[in-house]
Amino acid sequence: MPGVRSPMVRRRRLAQELRQRREAAGLTIEEVAQRLELSPATISRIETGRVGVRPRDVSDLLDQYEVQEADRDNLLTLTREARQPAWWRSRSYSDVLSEGLDVWIGLETEAEAIRTFEVQLVPGLLQTSEYARAFLRAYYPSEPSGQIERRVELRMARQELVIEQNDTPIWAVLDESVLRRHIGPAELMQSQYRRLLELSEKNNISIQILPFGAGVYTIVGGFAMMQLPYNPDFVLIEYRGGTLRIEQPEKVAAHAQIFDLLRANAKGPEESLRDISQLAKLTAE
């Protein structure tokens, strides 16, 4: 489990635990609401993780569910963790958080594994700072350089946490166009290729290239899948101005099947790294 916690993930886990305790006690939402003189909607929002909840309120709920001491202490600790500021907010990155990015960061912070498919760009967790800077300047053309640097700094902080501290397993399938598309001078791309080669030497990172000849699939846009402890998996899709979060089991399963198909039709890790190495040599010439 990562040493750095995500309040959002903690809150979702707490919501799940409280719902399970209520159901185990044989109580309905309406019965609990009546006993605590709250509205059923309030209990529902707590159990779906849509609102934060105070330790005192959780204690009242646990009284109704007759939860024993050890279990009770764990849930109250979880409640306090869910109320702590997120690491990216405590470091004052709020000014560069686009809509939905805090959700993305929260999920990747506690992910046990990340699977990602990209069709245009190197995934953010695998980018060099130069590559990230070039992309962000193009994506936010009117932003001052100071804001761009803050975005790059946040991206590098995420890499340090997920890859270095948490050692999170990452499986990346990259469309060949990701490597062929130059977003900067040859030196920048050569540095990015070398970075991919360095990362591939880590035990927790696998990179595969999906060649142009592999054809077209039912899902043609990029997506990321987050495997979380105590929670269902999530699919995240980034679009201009926001992030789409998918958590319905059948839709997540469909993306998992597509990812397995993409992985099966991509070049193997060793062959993929040979291709990346060859591109690094070509850009150096």
pLDDT of residue 2: 46
What is the CATH architecture of 7-84? Orthogonal Bundle (1.10)
Which pLDDT band holds residue 243 (cuts at 50, 70, 90)? confident
Domain ranges for the chain, please list them: 7-84, 98-127+157-284
Work out the mean pLDDT of the chain and round it to a whole number. 90
CA 32-35-39 angle, to 5 degrees, is 65
Q: Which has more confidence, 268 or 48?
A: 268
Task: Tell me if residue 238 falls in helix, strand or coil.
Answer: strand
**Phi, then psi, of 255 in degrees rounded to 5:** -70, -35
Longest dimension (CA), the chain: 75
Centre a 10 Å sphere on the Cβ of residue 84 and count the other Cβ atoms it contains.
13
For residues 90 and 7, give the distance between their C-alpha atoms in angstroms, rounded to a whole number. Answer: 12
Query: Mean pLDDT over residues 90-106, rounded?
Result: 83
Residue 236 one-letter amino acid: L
Fold for domain 98-127+157-284?
A: Endonuclease; Chain A (3.30.870)
Q: 239: which strand partners?
A: 242
Query: Mean pLDDT over residues 95-102, rounded?
Result: 82
pLDDT of residue 13: 85
For 173: left if phi > 0, alpha if psi spans -120 to 50, otherwise beta; the answer is beta
Which pLDDT band holds residue 1 (cuts at 50, 70, 90)? very low
Which residue, chain included where needed, has tokens 């920048």? Answer: 188
Which of 213, 218, 203, 183 shows the shortest CA–CA distance to 275?
A: 213
Question: Does the structure show a pLDDT above 80 at 215?
Answer: no
Which of 126, 275, 132, 163 shows the shortest CA–CA distance to 210?
A: 275
Which range (63-67, 123-127, 280-284) has the least confidence?
A: 280-284
Q: 246: which strand partners?
A: 235
- The fraction of the chain above a pLDDT of 70, given in percent, is 96
Question: Does the structure show a pLDDT above 60 at 3?
Answer: no
Question: Does the structure show a pLDDT above 60 at 96?
Answer: yes
pLDDT of residue 218: 64
Question: Does the structure show a pLDDT above 60 at 107?
Answer: yes
For residues 190 and 283, give the distance between their C-alpha atoms in angstroms, rounded to a whole number. Answer: 6
Question: Does the structure show a pLDDT above 90 at 85?
Answer: no
Which residue, chain included where needed, has tokens 């903690």? Answer: 10
How crowded is the C-beta side of 139, counted as CA atoms within 13 Å?
A: 19
Q: Which has more confidence, 188 or 7?
A: 188
Question: Does the structure show a pLDDT above 50 at 22?
Answer: yes
Question: Does the structure show a pLDDT above 80 at 181?
Answer: yes
Query: Mean pLDDT over residues 148-162, rounded?
Result: 95
DSSP state of 114: E
For 215: left if phi > 0, alpha if psi spans -120 to 50, otherwise beta; the answer is left
